[in-house]
């Protein structure tokens, strides 16, 4: 068995000043691994300085300051032991959810031995507390690396996928975004002591646009009047004059003005519907760009763009419907003109 949680913390706080031997496999560590040996040495020295500040703040009970210092140390040189220290600070502040998050991240990367045992003991202790009021939720996406935002019970969290998080029991809302993909939103329930998993398969914007075009084409096809089956008729006898010679057949009168007007209206309505559909696609792309940028006021502007797109979509559907009616009228009048 490992040492007690408090003793483990004291040891690990000292270890953070030792040379870093393992790196967390995160986006930060990937950038760190690409540095030169001299650059890594420089970053590790900065990390040690922040680690010392974090230890001093922790010893004085200034856990918020300690968290900031350890996060800066992890950003400079992503040693997973900094994650354990951050988790312990959150535990001291009474935030069991963040304490579990950082401790689990550390446990997944800790080396076998006492460090691994310490992390597993801490996870088990926190789980025993959280299971009384909360549930565990795992969220995965395809592609991975999407931004997962959780809101509910007066709280909010965000992080990259795949994500594992303990949440208070109740209703929650998750929004998944990824550059170049259509965002997805879902509401779900968290049960006390229960574990659940959500998987999101994100559709690329190009595939979404292709699906919209296909749906539009199918809608237009459904408005077409089916062609009546042709009947095989015997040729009528040629009319003959009083002298017995065949007379030339009289030419047909051709489509009426009403037929041409109806056909014209159908063409104009179809063109208007296609134009409006293109505008809808542009509005949605602008909305997604604002949400991805996460700029101040972007959500309100995105909401306005979504309302505009909805209005344009209704107008597009109305145009297609009007075109269908006009096309039907043109076909019927043309049939009676023959």
Domain's final residue, options 129, 156, 191: 129
pTM > 0.75: no
In a shared domain, residues 107 and 22: yes
Same domain, yes or no, for 74 and 107? yes
* Integer angstrom CA distances of residue 86 from 6, 98, 117, 267: 14, 9, 18, 66
Which residue among 104, 129, 154 closes a domain? Answer: 129
State the pLDDT at residue 74. Answer: 93
pLDDT of the residue at 21: 32
Beta bridge partners of 79: none
Q: What is the DSSP letter of 162?
A: S
210 and 164 together in one domain: no
Q: What is the CATH number of the domain that holds 68?
A: 1.25.40.10
Are 266 and 291 part of one and the same domain? yes
User: At 170, which CATH number?
Assistant: 2.60.40.10
Total structural domains within the chain: 3
Helix ranges restricted to H, the chain: 5-15, 27-33, 37-59, 63-76, 81-92, 96-109, 114-130, 205-222, 257-293, 298-337
State which residues form the domain around 331: 205-224+254-337
Is residue 215 located within the same domain as residue 283? yes
12 in a structural domain? yes
The reply to whether 209 and 312 lie within a common domain is yes
Mean pLDDT by 10 residues, the chain (338 residues): 45 40 40 85 93 95 96 91 92 92 88 82 92 93 94 89 91 95 95 94 88 82 61 58 54 65 75 78 74 63 76 79 76 66
- Asked if 223 contacts 324 with a C-beta cutoff of 8 angstroms, the reply is yes
| 237 found inside a domain | no
Query: Do the domain assignments include residue 232?
Result: no
139 and 124 inside one domain: no
User: Both 120 and 13 in a single domain?
Assistant: yes
233 inside domain: no
Same structural domain, 116 and 1: yes
249 found inside a domain: no
Q: Is residue 240 part of a domain?
A: no
Same domain, 168 and 264: no
The answer to whether residues 188 and 166 touch, using CB atoms and an 8 Å cutoff, is no
Contacts 24+ apart (CB under 8 A), 12-15: 12/81, 12/84, 12/85, 12/115, 12/118, 13/51, 13/54, 13/55, 13/58, 13/85, 15/81
pLDDT at 246: 53
Domain assignment of residue 230, yes or no: no
Interatomic CA distance for residues 180 and 206, integer angstroms: 8
Same domain, 46 and 114: yes
Shared-domain flag, residues 196 and 266 = no
Residue where a domain stops, chosen among 100, 129, 158 = 129
What would the pLDDT profile of 236-264 be if each residue is shown by its tens digit?
Answer: 565 565 555 555 555 555 677 777 777 77
The answer to whether residue 42 sits within a structural domain is: yes
Burial class of residue 161 (count of CB atoms within 10 Å of its CB; 0-12, 13-18, 19+): buried
């Amino acid at each position: 068995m490992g040492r007690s949680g408090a003793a483990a913390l004291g040891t690990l706080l000292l270890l953070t000043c030792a040379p870093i031997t393992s790196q967390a496999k995160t986006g930060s560590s990937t950038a760190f691994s690409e540095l030169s040996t001299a650059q890594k040495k420089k970053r590790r020295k900065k990390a040690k300085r922040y680690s010392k500040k974090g230890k001093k703040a922790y010893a004085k009970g200034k856990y918020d300051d300690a968290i900031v210092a350890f996060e800066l140390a992890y950003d400079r040189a992503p040693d997973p032991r900094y994650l354990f220290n951050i988790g312990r600070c959150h535990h001291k502040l009474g935030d069991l959810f963040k304490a579990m998050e950082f401790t689990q991240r550390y446990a997944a990367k800790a080396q076998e031995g006492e460090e691994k045992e310490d992390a597993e003991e801490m996870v088990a202790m926190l789980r025993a507390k959280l299971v009384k009021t909360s549930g565990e939720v795992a969220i995965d996406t395809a592609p991975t690396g999407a931004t997962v935002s959780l809101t509910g019970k007066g709280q909010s969290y965000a992080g990259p996928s795949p994500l594992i998080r303990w949440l208070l029991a109740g209703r929650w809302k998750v929004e998944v975004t990824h550059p170049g993909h259509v965002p997805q939103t879902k509401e779900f329930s968290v049960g006390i002591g229960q574990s659940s998993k959500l998987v999101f398969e994100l559709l690329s914007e190009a595939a979404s646009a292709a699906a919209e075009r296909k749906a539009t084409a199918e809608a237009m096809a459904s408005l077409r009047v089916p062609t009546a089956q042709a009947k095989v008729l015997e040729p009528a006898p040629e009319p003959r004059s009083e002298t017995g010679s065949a007379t030339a057949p009289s030419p047909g009168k051709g489509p009426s003005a009403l037929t041409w007007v109806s056909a014209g209206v159908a063409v104009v309505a179809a063109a208007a519907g296609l134009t409006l559909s293109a505008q809808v696609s542009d509005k949605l792309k602008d909305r997604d760009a604002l949400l991805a940028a996460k700029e101040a006021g972007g959500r309100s502007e995105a909401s306005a763009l979504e309302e505009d797109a909805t209005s344009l979509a209704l107008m597009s559907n109305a145009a297609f419907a009007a075109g269908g009616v006009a096309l039907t009228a043109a076909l019927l009048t043309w049939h009676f003109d023959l």
